[in-house]
Amino acid sequence: MYKILQGTEEDIIILSVQEALSCLKVQDDQVHCFLSGGPVLVGTDWDIKDVQDTFHKSVIQIGGKQCYEMGHGIVAFDGERNNFFEHDEEKLMELIRGG
């Protein structure tokens, strides 16, 4: 995990694939995701293996306040769109705190 300082209240925090996977909220090998589709978000459930594949070809970061508050604070940009993955609150906070 490393920060890109922007001089604003929301610095960008980049995650490794393993860090991002460790913070996901996984249920029955599925993770909920919002896909950015222009002016709307489309909600889908992804198989964990598809999430892993996407993470390996994406830039992954902790999202800003709005996506974090929606419970989808792991953001993967795969070169075409942002994918907002549901996070586990305790695990993500532990990672942020350095635990």
Q: Render pLDDT for 81-97 as a digit per residue (tens, 0 to 9).
A: 899 999 999 999 998 88
Yes or no: say if 92 and 73 are a contact pair by the CB < 8 Å rule. Answer: yes
Yes or no: say if 33 and 47 are a contact pair by the CB < 8 Å rule. Answer: no
Please tell me the predicted confidence (pLDDT) of residue 41: 86
Q: Render pLDDT for 2-59 as a digit per residue (tens, 0 to 9).
A: 555 555 566 788 999 999 999 999 999 999 999 987 788 899 999 999 999 999 999 9
Q: In terms of Cα–Cα distance, which of 37, 27, 44, 32 is closest to 73?
A: 32
Please tell me the predicted confidence (pLDDT) of residue 64: 87
State the pTM of this model: 0.88
Residue 99 has pLDDT above 80, yes or no: no
